[in-house]
Amino acid sequence: MSTAVNEKFLKFICQTSPEPLGLEIERAEGIYLFTHDGKRYLDFISGIGVANIGHQHPAVIAAIRKQLDSHLHVMVYGEYIQETQVEYARRLVELSPVNDGVVFFCNSGAEAIEGALKTVRKFTGRQKYIAFAGGYHGDSYGALSAMSSALYRAPFLPLLPEFEFLSFDDLSALSSIDETVAAVLVEPLQGEGGVQIPTAEFLPALRQRCDEVGALLIYDEVMTGFGRTGKLFASEHWPAAKPDIVCLAKALGGGLPLGAFIGRREIMKTLSENPPLAHVTTFGGHPLSCAAGMAALEVLLKEHLIERSARLGIFFLTELETLARKAACIRAVRGRGCFFAIEFHTPEATQRFVQHCRAQNLIIGWTLHHSTIVRAAPPLCMTDEQAQQALEIIKQAICV
């Protein structure tokens, strides 16, 4: 980063970590980031799961330009009929795992979680929520309340009451869900928790328990949606465990800010009555973001990037599992599609790995909750050659 821009970055941008990456991005294309100093990096973070189809896809740019010629913001959400917004909602409902769903667009994943939490409380008349240890749902007040990590909760206590945390993928814990629970909030695969994948039985059993006690089931697919795990939605890996509400963001907007929660019609109706306008947003479902998101979704489907994610995931996981059997510094590897994690024995080994990858122009990083886990979420459009190139850098960086 040039000295002048670096000084302004540190002076005027609120810093959220003591050592930001500090790359001065000049442009991005496909799976690459290009910096001001002329370097090209393989992006294995994808803007934290945003650039699933890669950066600057021509179809997305064209859709944005077309919408620019029509209008930008014209009215708060849900009042005017905006074709771009309506058509994207239609497409999402057709493809989502929610039966008879309707879409509420917002601006981010945390907002989607907040809206879902409000909706289920109003619909059920119950106050209690269940979430899971290791889960991550955002940093706003309600979303943070649904996170178990004492490190991130402690500075902001007291948070919202009536949250109970159960062990993830623990069938015996599900008996704690009773008739006082409004909803259970869960990531089908835990992202920040280190790409934790539940057993085949867990989510169907969770769905059954919710049905038994009248609780609603909310899936947080903010990170795992849109082909990331080799299915359009990660919950499709467990077809017997459909949610009542699914929360989306990140790749939803095709690179622009957009969030949504899709819920069963009878549940979502509660937001329009007793009182009306029970949940509103000014910029939610912005037409530019909906145009970009719709174009990105069609690219994902037409270019068969979901299937590609599944194939690339098998490639990386097979290679990494072979590597883990030989490398003493690795504790475990986990993954599904283009979403995988390498768990090291020590924070020092983790940090060395990340730094070595960056020195070789591969951007990859560890998770919020664990100093020994590296998580990868590369663009799904990567070629076989690019995947092999990244793998070689990863192999060289192991136990350096």
Range name among 12-16, 187-191, 222-226, 242-246 with the lowest pLDDT average:
12-16
> Which residues neighbour 268 within 8 Å (Cβ) at sequence distance 6 or greater?
101, 102, 104, 119
Q: Is the pLDDT of residue 1 over 70?
A: no
Average pLDDT over residues 319-341: 95
Residue labelled with tokens 């077809």 = 239
pLDDT of 339: 97
Average pLDDT, rounded, for the chain: 95
Cβ count within 10 A of residue 381: 22
Tokens 């092999």: give the residue.
Answer: 388
pLDDT digits (tens, 9 = 90+) for 110-154: 999 999 999 999 999 999 999 999 999 999 999 999 999 888 899
What does the alpha-carbon distance between residue 112 and residue 307 come to, in Å, rounded to a whole number? 27
Binned at pLDDT 50, 70 and 90, residue 269 comes out as very high
3-state secondary structure 127-150: CEEEEECCCCCCCCHHHHHCCCCH
Q: Is the pLDDT of residue 369 over 80?
A: no
At 211 the pLDDT is 98
Flag whether pLDDT at 400 surpasses 90: no
Per residue in 212-246, pLDDT (tens digit) is 999 999 999 999 999 999 999 999 999 999 999 99
Query: Residue 169: which of 4, 8, 334, 376 has the closest Cα?
Result: 334
Question: What pLDDT score does 229 carry?
Answer: 98
> Does 93 have pLDDT greater than 90?
yes
Q: Residues of the chain with pLDDT > 70: what percent?
A: 99
pLDDT-based confidence at residue 6 (cuts at 50, 70, 90): confident
How far apart are the C-alpha atoms of 332 and 324, rounded to whole Å? Answer: 7
pLDDT score, position 5 = 81
Q: What is the DSSP letter of 173?
A: G
Cis peptide before 378 (omega within 30 of 0): no
How confident is residue 300, by pLDDT bands cut at 50, 70 and 90?
very high
pLDDT at 107 over 60: yes
d(CA 329, CA 17): 27
Confidence bin at 165 (pLDDT 50/70/90)? very high
Q: Give the H/E segment covering residue 158.
A: none
Q: Percentage of residues in the chain with pLDDT exceeding 90? A: 88
> In Å, how far are 147, 150, 194, 241, 269 from 181, measured between CA atoms?
17, 23, 27, 18, 20
- Please check whether residue 154 is in contact with residue 130, taking contact to mean a CB–CB distance below 8 angstroms: no
pLDDT(275) > 80: yes
Residue 281, both tokens:
């947003």
- Domains annotated on the chain, with CATH: 3-53+304-397 (3.90.1150.10), 60-302 (3.40.640.10)
Structure confidence at residue 307 (pLDDT): 98
Q: CA-to-CA distance for 333 and 30, rounded, in angstroms?
A: 26
- How would you class 276 by CB atoms within 10 Å of its CB: exposed for 0-12, middle for 13-18, buried for 19 or more? exposed
- Confidence category of residue 2, pLDDT binned at 50, 70, 90: low
User: Which pLDDT score is estimated for 67?
Assistant: 97
| The two three-digit tokens of residue 170, written as one number | 């623990």
| pLDDT: which is higher, 172 or 16 | 172
Mean pLDDT value across residues 275-281: 90
Please tell me the predicted confidence (pLDDT) of residue 78. Answer: 84
Instruction: Evaluate whether 222 touches 246 at the Cβ level (below 8 Å).
Output: no
- pLDDT tens digits for range 351-360: 999 999 999 9
User: pTM of the entire structure?
Assistant: 0.95
The rounded distance, in Å, linking the Cα atoms of 219 and 200 is: 16
CA gap 134, 139 in Å, rounded: 14
**Per-residue pLDDT reduced to its tens digit, 26-85:** 999 999 999 999 999 999 999 999 999 999 999 999 999 999 999 999 998 888 899 999
